[in-house]
Amino acid sequence: MPSSPSLATLFTTFSRIGMQSFGGGLSGWIRREIVQKRHWLEERPFLSGLAVAQIAPGANAVNLSVFIGTTLRGGAGALAAFAGMMALPAVIVLALGAIYLRHHALPGIEAVLGGVGAGAIGLTLATAIRMTGRGVRGWREAAVTAATATLIGVLRFELLPVLVVMIAVSLLLNARAR
């Protein structure tokens, strides 16, 4: 692994990631930048951080940036990554929100937003498929993944109860395997 990045590099990297994602899919952007391009983390620690980020309260990408910043540079790294992830996008979202409130009735606005949303969904789905291939190594992981996706995505069960049950099931399956 290369040496830890500077705080300024963490800030600018997460600022660029935050600025390049539209409507979601930030986990994919973060993975590509941190694991594939910069090699700051290996795949397994990244997936562990992503799992923690997803079950912790708050936005996954923000939680993940804090995890990565902490892993690479401690508390100061967490602050640098968080600030990079949030600063410019927050300003832009506020400005776009103001513009939307003023011009939301213009023809074509809904179509543009629908196209942006479809692109974000596609990026999220592509990232999930890629990460499933790397994170799901056996039948136990595949069964928990399929059950979770079915319960939440198809049957529309509530997220928190499904996660509690699936975490328990996963722990039991893996304990029995050992």
Per-residue DSSP letters for the chain?
Answer: -PPPPPHHHHHHHHHHHHHH--SS-HHHHHHIIIIIIS-SS-HHHHHHHHHHHHHSSS-HHHHHHHHHHHHHHHHHHHHHHHHHHHHHHHHHHHHHHHHHHHHTTSTTHHHHHHHHHHHHHHHHHHHHHHHHHHH--SHHHHHHHHHHHIIIIIS---HHHHHHHHHHHHHHHHHHH-
Question: pLDDT for 111-136, tens place per residue?
Answer: 888 888 888 788 778 878 877 877 78
Task: Quick: pLDDT tens for 16-40.
Answer: 998 887 656 788 889 999 999 999 9
pTM: 0.62
